[in-house]
Amino acid sequence: MNGLNQFAIKQTGDAEEACPDSQEVACAQCKLHGFLKFFEGSDLLSLNIFLSRRIPVAKGAILFDAVAPFRGIYAVKSGSFKSFSHQDPSGDQILGFSLPGELIGLDALHSSQYGYSTVALEASSVCWLPFEHLDVLGERMAFFQEQVIRILVDQVRHDHHQTLLVGRRTAEERLGAFLLNLSDRYRRHGFEGEAFRLPMLQNDMANYLGLSMETVSRTLRGFREQEVVSIQGKRLRILNEDCLRSIAHACRGGGDSAGPG
């Protein structure tokens, strides 16, 4: 899986790519970046044809629903999203949250439909890479696929972590690991890891972690009382990361990436 020739990576200080708004992820920090470099260097035109940049999505708006035909993948530019399946008579099940710099929809590849729905948790924006155009890329397909594989492998590993996380752990461990996971993901995409927004409802966290809303509330209170974190509205600050880490797992390495895709 190597020895494939590299296209020149254009390192620009494009105004477009700079981050005027600190809530946006820089293009260079986005997971989509790995895909884009294959467009650059030889045919910039195709990049602009294929990639739609910075599409606004209003809070509560549906990016796609479960039965929408697969139209390609999205990268979160700013804001955040939750993805959920609603095949459940007793209510929706949240599959994951997507933060700036992360991809949505990759796991619907080769499917006719996404299979889950994705909604903006706040005013957000995305970049869109429509896949039906990609087969015209011919020779670059292999490079492209290598990227896809790399990210899917990441995803599988993350999901294993998630499975470990949700199975048989106490509320404190789940929530602690969840907060550390968010912290890592923000940091990885160029944001501050110690202080960040919790864009989702406690209800959503509860759903995602397999807990009740009340338990989430009580557990967060516990964290506050132990002065492990401080919370003001939707803003969270990690005051004692070591402690949080030891609560989260008697010792496991921080979780990896994202929601679906």
Partner DNA sequence: CGCAAATTTGACGTTAGTCAAGGTTGGTGG
Partner DNA sequence: CCACCAACCTTGACTAACGTCAAATTTGCG
Residues in a beta bridge with 124: 57
Could you give the CA distance from residue 54 to residue 57 in angstroms, rounded to a whole number? 9
Query: How does DSSP assign 143-172, residue by residue?
Result: HHHHHHHHHHHHHHHHHHHHHHHHTT--HH
Asked if 126 contacts 55 with a C-beta cutoff of 8 angstroms, the reply is yes
Is 242 among the residues that bind its own copies (CB under 8 A)? no
Q: Are 221 and 229 in contact (CB under 8 A)?
A: no
Minimum separation from the CB atom of position 113 to DNA (A) = 27
End-to-end CA distance of the chain: 22
CB of 210 to its own copies, least distance (A): 3
Angle at 66 between CA 28 and CA 258, to 5 degrees: 35
Restricted to residues 152-211, the positions that interact with its own copies (CB under 8 A) are 152-153, 155-157, 159-160, 162-164, 166-169, 209-211
Q: Under the criterion CB under 8 A, does residue 97 sit at the interface with its own copies?
A: no
Tell me: does residue 145 bind its own copies (CB under 8 A): yes
**Alpha-carbon radius of gyration of the chain:** 19
CB of 197 to DNA, least distance (A): 11
141 binds, among DNA, its own copies, none (CB under 5 to 8 A by kind): its own copies
Using CB under 7 A, pick the residue from 29, 217, 226, 240 that binds DNA. 217
Residue 210 lies near DNA (rule: CB under 7 A): yes
Kindly list the residues in this chain that would bind its own copies in the complex (CB under 8 A): 1-3, 85, 87-91, 93, 95, 107-111, 115-116, 131, 134-135, 141-142, 145-146, 148-150, 152-153, 155-157, 159-160, 162-164, 166-169, 209-211, 249-254, 260
